[in-house]
Structure 1
Amino acid sequence: MSDAIDHSIAQPEENRFWLTTSDGVGIDAVLLRRAGARTTAVVVANGFTGTYRSPHTRAIAEELLPVGDVMTFDFRGHHGSGGRSTVGNAEIHDLEAVVNRLRELGYTHIAVVGFSMGAAVAVRHAAIYGGTCAVVSVSGPSRWYYRGTRAMRLLHLGIGRTLGRAFLKRFRKVRVTDQRWNPTPAEPREVAGEISPTPLLVVHGDADGYFPVAHATAIHDAAREPKELWIIPGMGHAERAVTPELTVRLRRWIGERLPPREQPR
């Protein structure tokens, strides 16, 4: 298998889905498919304010296609999905709805790649629901309510105040709940140990302006084998910081965790 995308290959087929979560929220999702019957799928879970419409997300999804079909989606409260964002709590139901639909479509090996908020959701989902063949956490927080960077202090102002939520709704197409978590869910570092025996890869940039590298090491240290930690020199935060070269590495890692007959050629 070539490490780079061959752009002479026909564009993937796009299938739009409207999913309903276990708590009744509608989720807007798109499945990118290559020709032929495939049993492996990869789910891309965006960070807060992210969307499958983003060119960054689309580029990541297309680079992952050699390993399996790829489903991207908007979390609740984001863009075309219903409901309101809870910024990482109830979103595990969104991810479970996506994984369930892929199972219904016949995929038997499903990997999840989450970014920032989506990384926290991916870790919690794998610990609580299980049923996936690999989990990748990119730029994820290890704990809640972190305010140790300027970016996170601004984010908390945005989601914690009426004016900030109005700004997010108008300019970022994100509707955030005004309700506080009750109860507060377990933190990613508290549940990472429950992901095993599913393989976990923790990826973080040493130039992340939201969460320092200590968040990645906390998740990795709390997890049980099989696990890996990649600290990427010069990398910033989440989807926008992911290079094609890093996506190829992620694709290889996922492919190596598939059964031999499922590994891409």
Structure 2
Amino acid sequence: MKLKKRVTRISIAIVLIFIIGMGIAGNYFYNVGINRSQEGPNLHGGGSSAAAASIEGSEEQQKEIAELMKWTEQQQFEIVQIKSYDGLTLKARFLKNPNSNGKVVILAHGYKGSSEQMPGITKDYYDMGYDILKPDARGHGMSEGNYIGYGWHDRKDYVDWVDFLIEEKKEDTIFLHGFSMGAATVLMTSGEKLPKEVKGIIANSGYTTVKAELSHQLKYLYKLPAFPLMEVTSVVTKIRAGYSFEEASALEGVKKNTLPLFIIHGDQDELVPTKMATEIYDAASSKKDLWIVKGAGHTEAYTVAEEEYKSKLQNFLDTAIKQ
């Protein structure tokens, strides 16, 4: 009898230690990957591919970058803001183009990024005659928020930014173009009820679901299996940030989307595996196009194939507007 009680106590203690340990681990990974902080983890697959590195190191590329930075500094970006559905002040940079005639693109940055990034594509859209809105996602840059939404709560913010552009800036032709986390954001947004002014979605290097992407990172960064850490961290995230990894899905977004969709991905992407682009494409129910860029790593399609990128983008925009 005493032995049985002792075994029971030991078993209960082991279970309690496991639960406490999982709770500590879940909060640790929340603080590393979800909680707002100045420094993010060194993500697996975040380096440059050989193709991109050779271009970035060239004298010609350095000259182009210098000219681009000069152009960027000369532009008069207006700082605009909205209130989110949950009371956060969200800010963005807005660049007015005198030749836009109501055409605008919303550019969505990646994880730990900001509206100060994406200068090349910003100038390209400007040269094509578009106004540009570059929001700081919640938990990033100038925007409020103490956690990173990975696109899920951000999708509602982007609906609000669309409404802002229509009501305050009188825009009537709107595109959403995102990179990495920003790509997942616009894909998730595509599943929302959007006004007729939104004409198309461009997603560069987006992931399928938050759970799939974080599980991928966990495997390579920490050599740990996804189960049960992802489930525990998801519960912690639900409690602390209000969403779970399971519900944050770009796949579910594109299933509901009715707008033209252009998916771009590098075939050397190790941060967001290339197969995710195919999964998103297969799940999408609207008119869609998939471009896998040879030699490109994560968000490197523009660097590796800049002229083709601009040509395909222009064709997509023109075709979508005519529909």
Structures share a fold, TM > 0.5? Answer: yes
Q: CA 1:155 to 1:61, structure 2 compared with 1: closer, same or farther past 3 Å?
A: farther
* Greater Rg by CA: 2
Alignment of 1:217-232 (within 5 A): 217-232=278-293
1:73 aligned partner, one-letter code:
P
1:212 aligned partner: 273
Deviations 1:161-219 (A, max 9, x none): xxxxxxxxxxxxxxxx95462484252122312112x1011111001121222101111
2:44 aligned partner: none
Distance apart, 1:129 and its partner CA: 2.5
1:24 aligned partner: 87
- Cα distance between partner residues in 2 of 1:17 and 1:190: 30
1:137 aligned partner: 203
Q: CA 1:150 to 1:188, structure 2 compared with 1: closer, same or farther past 3 Å?
A: closer
Aligned mate of 1:63, from 120, 124, 147? 124
> What residue ranges of structure 2 are gaps of 5+ in the alignment?
1-66, 230-238
1:115 to 2:175 alignment = no
2:249 aligned partner: 187
What is the DSSP-based 3-state SS (H/G/I as helix, E as strand, rest coil) of the residue aligned with 1:79?
Answer: coil
Distance apart, 1:41 and its partner CA: 0.5
* C-alpha contact 2:150 2:210 (8 A) present in aligned 1: no
1:242 aligned partner: 302
186-195 or 98-107: which moved more?
186-195
Q: TM-score, normalised by structure 2?
A: 0.64
Alignment of 1:154-165 (within 5 A): 154=221
* C-alpha contact 1:64 1:247 (8 A) present in aligned 2: no
- Cα distance between partner residues in 2 of 1:52 and 1:237: 19
2:263 aligned partner: 202
* C-alpha contact 1:67 1:255 (8 A) present in aligned 2: no
1:96 aligned partner: 159
What is the DSSP-based 3-state SS (H/G/I as helix, E as strand, rest coil) of the residue aligned with 1:133?
Answer: strand
Q: CA 1:199 to 1:156, structure 2 compared with 1: closer, same or farther past 3 Å?
A: farther
1:168 aligned partner: none
1:143 aligned partner, one-letter code:
T
Q: TM-score, normalised by structure 1?
A: 0.77
1:15 to 2:78 alignment = yes
* C-alpha contact 1:143 1:215 (8 A) present in aligned 2: no
> What residue ranges of structure 1 are gaps of 5+ in the alignment?
1-5, 161-176, 261-265
- Cα distance between partner residues in 1 of 2:163 and 2:222: 31
Q: CA 1:41 to 1:253, structure 2 compared with 1: closer, same or farther past 3 Å?
A: same
Distance apart, 1:152 and its partner CA: 7.4
2:320 aligned partner: 257
- Cα distance between partner residues in 2 of 1:99 and 1:141: 22
143-152 or 113-122: which moved more?
143-152
Distance apart, 1:150 and its partner CA: 5.1
1:41 to 2:126 alignment = no
Deviations 1:42-83 (A, max 9, x none): 0101111111112xx122111112141111111001021101
1:101 aligned partner, one-letter code:
F
Q: CA 1:203 to 1:188, structure 2 compared with 1: closer, same or farther past 3 Å?
A: same
* C-alpha contact 1:189 1:222 (8 A) present in aligned 2: yes
Distance apart, 1:148 and its partner CA: 6.1
Q: CA 1:30 to 1:41, structure 2 compared with 1: closer, same or farther past 3 Å?
A: same
Distance apart, 1:134 and its partner CA: 0.3
- Cα distance between partner residues in 2 of 1:27 and 1:71: 13
- Cα distance between partner residues in 1 of 2:141 and 2:255: 33
Runs of 4+ in 1 over 4 A off after TM superposition: 9-12, 147-153
What is the DSSP-based 3-state SS (H/G/I as helix, E as strand, rest coil) of the residue aligned with 1:256?
Answer: helix
What is the DSSP-based 3-state SS (H/G/I as helix, E as strand, rest coil) of the residue aligned with 2:262?
Answer: strand
- Cα distance between partner residues in 2 of 1:125 and 1:254: 18
Distance apart, 1:155 and its partner CA: 9.7
1:174 aligned partner: none
Q: CA 1:151 to 1:235, structure 2 compared with 1: closer, same or farther past 3 Å?
A: farther
- Cα distance between partner residues in 1 of 2:223 and 2:188: 21
Q: Once the two structures are aligned, what percentage of the paired residues are identical?
A: 26
* C-alpha contact 1:64 1:248 (8 A) present in aligned 2: no
